[in-house]
Structure 1
Amino acid sequence: MSPSPDGPNSDLLVRIEARLADLVPVVLAGQQGLEAAMRDSLLAPGKRLRPLIAAIVAQDLGGPLEAALDAGCAVEMVHAASLILDDLPCMDDAALRRGRPAIHRGHGEDVAVLASIALLTEAFAVLARIEGLAPERRSAAVGVLASAVGSLGLVGGQYQDLRGGRGARSAQDMADANGRKTGALFLSAVELGAIVAGATPGQRANLCAFAGELGLAFQLLDDLLDLSADPAAIGKDVGRDAGKSTVVALVGVERTQRLVERHIGSARAHLETVFGAGSRLDALIEALAVSGRALADAAARPLEQEGARR
């Protein structure tokens, strides 16, 4: 589900990658192991969807790109930190991430935890020192990202998943947890882009609604891919949801696929309200949706064939 490296946002992706490399936290002398873990996490090949969203939102609302790039990269740093923690043996116990060994597998659990904390804290430092952004906007940006990470955001969603994921849950409970785990950083990406550009309250409301729908769609796609996708194709372990209460387990593959389409459709409708038809962000989401559908269909095909043989 990655944006094409030679697609319409290729120049922006190049700038994001370069800025991420610049923002790897500085370490003390002799602590190259910590730096290597942070670089492996932050610079591993990824979609860079969150910084792309922040930059496109800001640019297309007339905001400065340089400030938006730093804001988006701060979100990506939090995302990278969260993946390190998510993969730990005490969490999902994953071996593979972005096509490479999970950070705790390659660098040790102790260094992985330290790398995650360093990336997380540096993300807030990046926001606090964005040049050309008024102090009140920098402060607002820090508050947005803190809310996304904290006990009402990523942390709360992960706790819901860890403690409630093995028991029976309603569709609403699962949607709430998914919104906090996956939607929180999409929400912060659009909000930071909007803050940089000085968006109106109405624009921010529609962008936040877009992010909520996008987060739900992506989590459902992730659940579908976990069924039987090839780890090499998606760059991470599969089968981690076995025995967990997921939307796929509750309503089945076909209905989950319809829910994905519904969320994507709603997300794009909110974008059209803000940017009009055929916006850059709409094209990006459609391209990702096409790629995601293909992967999800391929993952579901063996299950459908197994069902047909019964």
Structure 2
Amino acid sequence: MDDQVALQQGLLTRVEGLRARVDRRLAELAPAPGTAPDRLVEAVRYSLLAPGKRFRPMLTLLAAEAFGANEGAALDAACAFEMIHAASLILDDLPAMDDAGLRRGLPTIHRAFDEATAILAGVGLLNQAYAVIAADKGLCGDLRAEVCARAAEAVGFMGLVAGQARDLLDRDQLRDMSEIDRLNHEKTGVLIIAAAQVGALIGGADAEAVGQVGEFARRVGLAFQIRDDLIDAEGSVEAAGKDTGKDAAMTTAVSRLGVPGARAAMEEHLAAAEAALAAAGGGGLLGAYAGRLFAARKAAA
């Protein structure tokens, strides 16, 4: 028991240290006052630097280290994925999309500023993410191109954009679980997969290991969305830090399977994720981090 406690304490210390490092680098990479109109800069920094789990950049950093990268080798790539994620939240929250009022415990960007500023902030962050990757001299040219391509694909017509479009068009449709999984994969999973696989690539993982890391991340992404469905159905606005109950009229894992069934499906995905990571040979802190994240959420549910 003492060894397990020590392991968990060591994990927490390591994760908090990496998260603080990501936060510091994000503040450096965000537009500084005077580099663009003040209101736009303020909106971008308000969104990007708001307190968060930094889940995607943590996957990039921990995957890179799992396969032997030097500490910090994947930092800018990790921050680029957080920029993409922040941009996607800004755009998803817009009145024409999900019309959300709260995100990360704060008013959404279009509420705190205005809709036009929110759109420009989201587009600006997407482009800044690609610029950060392209300027990362710590990566060789071929690897920079690969990282940039994977990030762009995760956003585009097989990723976030496709998922949001499908969500908007089919919200009144009764979906089966395969359709729900496809939607969740596009809206959430594709970016999580890209973040983890990029980390593995930076760490020097071979193609087979990168594929297994992708399966690990795919399963984690599906579990992540089911967890969000459970929070939306059962959680409070205060605990979630965002609007809840917005999916009540939609088909989700919870509405399709019920709360016990949704929790069982989440556990199934997490078990498959653990198996894929073991096959990749990149467990350690990466697997422990994912497990701790979900353990904390399940305890709070």
Query: Which of 286, 289, 292 is matched with 1:287 structurally?
Result: 292
What CA distance in whole angstroms lies between the structure 2 residues aligned with 1:27 and 1:184? 33
Q: 1:244-285: per-residue Cα shift (whole Å, max 9, x none)?
A: 1112111211101100000011111111222366x1011111
Secondary structure of 2:74's match? Answer: helix
Match of 1:31 in 2: 37
CA–CA distance in structure 2, aligned partners of residues 76 and 82 of structure 1:
10
Task: Give the Cα–Cα distance (whole angstroms) in 2 for the partners of residues 270 and 116 of structure 1.
Answer: 34
Aligned length: 293
Whole-Å separation in 2 of the counterparts to 1:30 and 1:182: 30
Verify: 1:144 aligned to 2:160, yes or no: no
Q: Report how far residue 27 of structure 1 moved.
A: 6.5
Once residues 205 and 32 of structure 2 are traced to their aligned partners in structure 1, the CA distance between those partners, rounded to angstroms, is 34
The equivalent residue for 2:239 is 233
Kindly indicate whether the alpha-carbon contact (under 8 Å) linking 1:130 and 1:138 is maintained by their aligned counterparts in 2. Answer: yes
Residue 125 of structure 1 aligns with an amino acid whose one-letter code is A
Unaligned runs of 5+ in 1: 297-310
Residue deviations 1:136-164 (CA, integer Å, cap 9, x gap): 11001110001100011011111111111
Identify the residue that residue 81 of structure 2 maps to in structure 1: 75
Please name the residue that 1:262 is paired with: 268
Contact 1:27 1:34 in 2 (8 A): no
* Aligned partner letter, 2:291: E
- By how many angstroms is 1:65 displaced? 3.1
Gaps of 5+ in 2: 1-7
After TM superposition, the score normalised by the length of structure 2 is: 0.93
TM-score by length of 1: 0.91
Secondary structure at the aligned position of 1:67 is classed as coil
1:67-106 equivalent positions in 2, closer than 5 A: 67-106=73-112
Pairing 1:57–2:66 present? no
| Structure 2 residue 210 is the aligned partner of structure 1 residue 204 | yes
Q: Which residue of 1 is the match for residue 223 of structure 2? A: 217
- Identity over the aligned pairs, expressed in percent? 42
2:166 aligned counterpart, secondary structure = helix
Distance 1:30 1:267 in 2: 42
C-alpha deviation, 1:50, in angstroms: 0.7
TM-align CA RMSD: 1.7
Q: 2:25 aligns with which of 19, 26, 34?
A: 19
